[in-house]
Structure 1
Amino acid sequence: MRLLAFAALALLAVTQAEEGARLLASKSLLNRYAVEGRDLTLQYNIYNVGSSASNVSHTVVLRPLKAGYFNFTSATITYLAQEDGPVVLDWAAFGVMTLPSIGIPLLLWYSSKRKYDTPKTKKN
């Protein structure tokens, strides 16, 4: 019985760990008419319904240059899942930016400590 419960928990943990991003995307035309020489606004919405739910919205403004029929087809979205990709870059930038504010006082303290910690020789 314990083995069955352990196997069920292990299977549940594996399925939860492998769940990644599940994206839903939509494209909508915000203008009523597409007119030559006037701005045409498209909005792209990307919804992540996977393990880390979040939404992203992008708005694009285009200007049609010539008259005619245009087929607004569906967009194709490709993405590459990376484990901690932008997080590592953010922490590296944070480390580089905080290095002067921590490093300069540390060097000043160390030089002062070294100057006053040297034992003086006694003269007899």
Structure 2
Amino acid sequence: MKINSKQTRIHKHRRVRKKVQGTASRPRLCVFRSNKHIYAQVIDDIKGITLVAASSINLKLQSSITLGSNCEASRSVGKTLAERSIKEGIENVVFDRGGKLYHGRVEALAEAAKEAGMVF
């Protein structure tokens, strides 16, 4: 049976998740990119809870961005996530790109989060 691109991404994500583990002291910054939006959350894998989340669907962000599926929106989400994380006292994180390449929107989100004060 032929493997499609979604199954390939899931396979890559599972392979990465074997190595990337978020803890209370250094949670995991997980990124999911769809065709229309981008989502990011900071997760403590030991407790199994989401500590901070941001996405391009957020109404406050939608007023400042024109389209949820471009690099500008990704930068806004990254900056917002970093600001919320720093308010919660989270600066050091492990970056989980979710099986996607570190390029384009994923890279824009990561770089914006770094510029806003997060450390990977």
Normalising by structure 2, we get a TM-score of: 0.28
Instruction: Compare relative contact order (CA 8 Å, sep 6+) and give the higher one, 1 or 2.
Output: 2
Normalising by structure 1, we get a TM-score of: 0.27
